[in-house]
Structure 1
Amino acid sequence: MAATIARWLIGFGAAGLIAMTAIIAWQVFGRFVLDSSPSWTEQASLILMIWYVMFASAAGVYEGFHIRIALLEERLGERSRGLARAVALVVAIVGIVLLIYGAQLCWAVRGNAVPSLGISRAAAYVPLPIAGLLMTVFAIPRIVRGRVPAEESKA
């Protein structure tokens, strides 16, 4: 189940990057060809970026593709499991912080609108608590076992 969610998150991230690229291309076309840049493109691309970066970050916790000190892990060998558990615990704590404070941020800005889009500012920040929850859930197996699920299938 978690692997499926991670794949969906990565797919969403890729689709978001493609959509943001298309929006920015439209903005450049409007500015230099039509001599009239659309007002909504900048805010829309920024909101998309928040969405796909947060969800790809959550998938990165599951997949284990975030930056880590591979040389140290190689030198420590089997003892690196303790280090992996400690790192996963920190990631889980960060996820809980994102969950709590991201939800509070969404609630605090729910009445504010993004002027160029006409949507609630909270729409931009919804991925924070969701990604925080997913990061925490994805970090739990690493805390328990000391490795990511992808490494277990290779071992």
Structure 2
Amino acid sequence: MREPLGRWPERSSNFMLAAGAVGLILMTAIIGYQVFGRYVLHSSPSWAEEASLILMIWYVFFAAAAGVRERFHIRITALENAVPAHVRRPMRWFVHTVVALAGLSLAIWGTELVCLTWEHEIPTLGLSRGVAYLPLPLSGVLMILFSIEHLLRGDPAGDEDEASVD
């Protein structure tokens, strides 16, 4: 089946997952270094906590955006399984529309948060506080695009299974 938006959604999702994995590994290493510093060297690095928190914000939002495309986000299927197949498709369209609207809110208010905090510096890192919040609008835009991709494909969140149901 031809992809409605080309190959970029798959590539960007794979990049988000890889970046999220690298962020998780880096955060784990930083926390390990902080614990080593505290208990072995008796001197904990001042930058470690802020750096790990920023990495967590980045990889969580990257994974959330990728989760929309790859359909590994949390969803409750009890209601979906309880309704007839002809009702499931409109339910899925509704769900992807709501996810796209959530992405829109992240994009709009995330951008506002980045702009409001850009001038504030994180003292221990020397970075703008806006850098910490930059993944909010980025992941919001990707959530919108990934939801649109599902809707254009015509198989939002699992319609490929409908032929075997009922």
TM-score for both structures, normalised by structure 1? 0.92
- Larger Cα-atom Rg: 2
Unaligned stretches of 5+ residues in structure 2? 1-7
Q: Give the match for residue 117 of structure 1.
A: 125
Identity percentage of aligned residues: 49
Which residue of the other structure, out of 20, 27, 49, is the alignment partner of 1:13?
Answer: 20
For residue 140 of structure 1, the aligned residue among 145, 148, 152 is 148
Once the two structures are superposed, residues 104-149 of structure 1 have per-residue CA deviations (whole angstroms, 9 ceiling, x without a partner) of: 111111110001101110110111110000000001133342514x
1:90 aligns with 2:114: no
TM-score (norm 2): 0.86
Is this contact kept in 2: 1:86–1:143, CA < 8 A? Answer: no
Deviations 1:26-77 (A, max 9, x none): 0000000000000000000000000000010000000111111223223325
Aligned length: 153
Between 1:63-72 and 1:39-48, the stretch displaced more is 63-72
Structure 1 segments, 4+ long, off by >3 Å, are: none
Alignment of 1:50-129 (within 5 A): 50-78=57-85, 79-129=87-137
For 2:33 and 2:68, locate their aligned partners in 1 and report how far apart those are by CA, in whole Å.
33
The one-letter code sitting in structure 1 at the alignment partner of 2:156 is: R
> Which residue identity does 2:128 align to in structure 1?
S
* Aligned-CA RMSD value: 1.8
Q: Which amino acid aligns with 2:83?
A: L
1:67-95 CA distance string (max 9 Å, x none): 11223223325221111111111110011
SS at match of 2:41: coil
